[in-house]
Every structure is written in C-alpha cells, then in structure tokens.
Structure 1
C-alpha cells in the first residue's frame, strides 16, 4: 500500500486565500497615500543625521508596507483565486464594531469618570462577546484592578468625570484623585 500524502508540510499554499488580493491592494493604496502625506506630517531637521530625522523611520516602514504588499500582489496575481473575497471583507468591516466600542469608552471617560467608564466598558464587552455569570465578575475585577493600578499606583493623570462634580467636597477629591 502506498501513501500519497507528502512527508513534508506544504509551505506555500496552492490557491489564493479569500481577500488576499483585496488586502494587498488596500495596503498598496494606503501605504502610497501615507508616503505621499509624509512631507506635511513630519519635518526635516537641518544638521541631523539621517537616522535621527523624524521623517526617516516612518518613511522606511511605510516603504516596507508598500514593497511587501506589492511583492505579495505580484507573486499571487496568477494563482487560482479562492472565492469569498467580499465575505472576507465583510468580516473585516464587522470587526470595526470594536473600534466603535473603544471610541464610546474614550468619549465616556470625561463624562462619567474613569472608574465607571472602565467597569461599564469591560462588563459591556464581556456581555457582547456572549459571556455570562462568573466572567462578568472577572471583567469587573479586571476593570477595578486597571483603574487602581493606573490611577493610584502609577499616578496616571486621567480627566475627572463631569459627574464627579455632583459629589460632596470630600468625596469629590477622592474620586478625582483615585478613580
């Protein structure tokens, strides 16, 4: 009996993955636009060496994005396409929901304060991901740890919530300082 399965793993896939060319094209366009904008987003300092220039490292990394996206695009363009490009793009777009969650969190901090916003954010994301029961309490515990660690232990300055102004004078100081 002969076994037709190869001994070595197949390193280079035979077909293109869904969305691979779309991703390469998007990276080429985005990288090219960012390189084009680098002139008015950064500066060139006279008398500084090349590696010390504020525009050098961002430009180098963006050139790497464009180069490797272009090489990937060129190496994969003649390979047989796997269907599902737009379904894959839909998955990418659905992940932007979590960017919205984060923006809502950042907006809520100056309004309701760092502690309530962080607890609500962690518990809300835990619920959104489908967890119930003990994981909710773990998320709340994590949020309390984060707030106490950053505000108390590391003394990170966060904006006080507008709602803290409604608290009595002594409690207001504690809320602004530690929570």
Structure 2
C-alpha cells in the first residue's frame, strides 16, 4: 500500500518507540499496523498470536476473557516489546482497559496508542463476514462494554476507520509525525 511518492515516517532514534494499535475486534488494527510496520521498518506482532491455548479455547466457545485471563498475556506482550530495542515495535492489541494499557506502558521505551474506532453497525457487518478467526462476532458487545477510552494523560490518538484505509493511514502518519516533533494532541 505504500506509494513511491510517500515519505516514510522515521522513529525517534534516542529510545525504542512502540506503537500499540488498539481497538475492538474488526476495527482495522491489523491493516493499519501492517502498513505502519512497512513504512517504519519496525517488527510487528499480532497480540492474538500471544494468547495461550486456554484463552483461545474460551473465546472460541464464546466466553469472554476475564482480567485474570489477560494479565499473563499482557505481560508477555510487554516483554516482547521490551526485547525490540533497535528502534521499537508495533503490536495490535485490543488494550480495552486503561489497566491493560498500563501493563503495556511498562515496556522499555516510549509506548504510544493508536485507538482505531469504527461505528457499531459497520463493525457488526465486518465481523459477520470474517472467517478463520477464533474471536466470534458474538463477543463484540462484551468488548464494547469493556472498552475504556484513552485518558487525557495517555500518549495516544483516536483514529476513525469509517472512511477509506488510506484515510486511516494518512491520519495515523500525520499524528505520528506530530508526535516526533513533540507536539502531541
């Protein structure tokens, strides 16, 4: 998706910079994260790949995860980010609660959150047509109920994915460029 005339964004060289692309299932986290990883030349990980088999089994059976299910998973993600010391990393993670984001923020370096949002009817439609994923559409309401918006003191931005994917990528890129200049928000 990167066009040859686009200038790639560069991470700050002084500390690892980790981007957590967050939001509920079906919001477009993976699409955005893959494009940013390509543009930034950073390693990327899907948080879903870090779930232990027990978590996947629960979700496959349409049982929402509890905080106790999530803590070890979040610590594993935090540790993976901390190991990416060359320039940072990008992960996709629902990061629904502030307390979950607090664990991720413990990673070595700077952790920024890009919260991808989509209106509920569009989310429902996306999940109804998605196949091959263990997260059933029936758990969307649980995720939406659990979701806590980014607080004013959290380094992050809310990005609407109700337009084109290029609009989403452009908005994320513009915010990241501002964050490099030290002019967040």
TM-score tier (shorter): under 0.3
The higher radius of gyration belongs to 1
Q: Which has the higher contact order (CA 8 A, sep 6+)?
A: 2
TM-score (norm 1): 0.22
Q: Which has the higher strand share?
A: 2
